[in-house]
Amino acid sequence: MTKRFWRAGILACLISCVGVAHAQVSSLNVTEMSEAQIRQLSYNDLLQLSLEDLMTVANRFGMSADEILEYFLNKDVVAASKKAEKSMESPLSTTVISKEQIEQSG
Amino acid sequence: MRGKFLAMKRLLFLIVVFCLMGTSSLFAQKERFKALFIFNFTKNIEWPAASRGNQFVIVVIGNSELIAELETIAQTQRVGNMPIKVVDYTSLDNLNGCHLVYLSPSKSGMLSSLLTNVNGKHTLVVSDGKNLAAKGSGISFVQDGDKLKFEVSRKNIEKQGLKSSSALANLGIVVD
Residue A98 falls inside a structural domain: no
pLDDT at A19: 35
Give the CB-side neighbour count of residue B113, counting CA atoms within 13 A.
Answer: 7
Residues 6+ apart with CB under 8 A from B121: B51, B95, B96, B97, B160, B161
Q: Does A51 touch chain B (CB under 8 A)?
A: yes
Quick check: A1 and B3 CB within 8 A?
yes
pLDDT at A66: 45
Separation CA B34–CA B102 (nearest Å): 10
Residue A3 falls inside a structural domain: no
The bridge status of strand B124-128 relative to strand B139-144 is parallel
pLDDT, average across residues A72-83? 58
Q: Does A49 touch chain B (CB under 8 A)?
A: yes
Quick check: A69 and B167 CB within 8 A?
no
**Type and span of the H or E element at B145:** none
pLDDT at A24: 34
pLDDT at A65: 42
Residue A86 falls inside a structural domain: yes
pLDDT, average across residues A68-84? 57
Beta carbons within 10 angstroms of residue A53's beta carbon? 20
Residue A13 falls inside a structural domain: no
Residue A11 falls inside a structural domain: no
pLDDT tier at A59 (50, 70, 90 boundaries)?
Answer: confident
Is residue B169 within 8 Å of B54, Cβ to Cβ?
no
3-state secondary structure of B122: coil
pLDDT at A44: 84
Q: What ipTM does this complex have?
A: 0.73
What would the DSSP string read from start to end of A51-96?
Answer: HHHHHHHHHHHTTT-TTHHHHHHS-EE-TTTSS-EETTT-SS----
Residue A58 falls inside a structural domain: yes
Instruction: Please give the backbone phi and psi of residue B46, each rounded to the nearest 5 degrees, phi first.
Output: -110, 120
Q: Which residues in chain A have Cβ-Cβ distances shorter than 8 Å to B18?
A: 12, 16
Residue A54 falls inside a structural domain: yes
Quote the domain boundaries for residue A49.
19-93
Q: Which residues in chain A have Cβ-Cβ distances shorter than 8 Å to B17?
A: none
**Residue among A88, A68, A90 nearest A80 (CA):** A90
Q: Does A6 touch chain B (CB under 8 A)?
A: yes
Q: Which residues in chain A have Cβ-Cβ distances shorter than 8 Å to B146?
A: 62-64
Residue spans of chain B under pLDDT 50: none
User: Nearest CA to CA, how far is A55 from chain B (Å)?
Assistant: 8
Domains of chain B: 32-174 (3.40.50.2300)
Q: Which residues in chain B have Cβ-Cβ distances shorter than 8 Å to A5?
A: 7, 10-11
User: Pick from B10, B76, B148: which is nearest to A63 by CB?
Assistant: B148
**Type and span of the H or E element at A22:** none
pLDDT 10s digits, B105-151? 999 999 999 999 999 999 999 999 999 999 999 999 998 887 889 99
**Residue among A66, A38, A48, A71 nearest B30 (CA):** A66
Quick check: B11 and A5 CB within 8 A?
yes
How many structural domains are present in chain A?
1
pLDDT at B158: 96
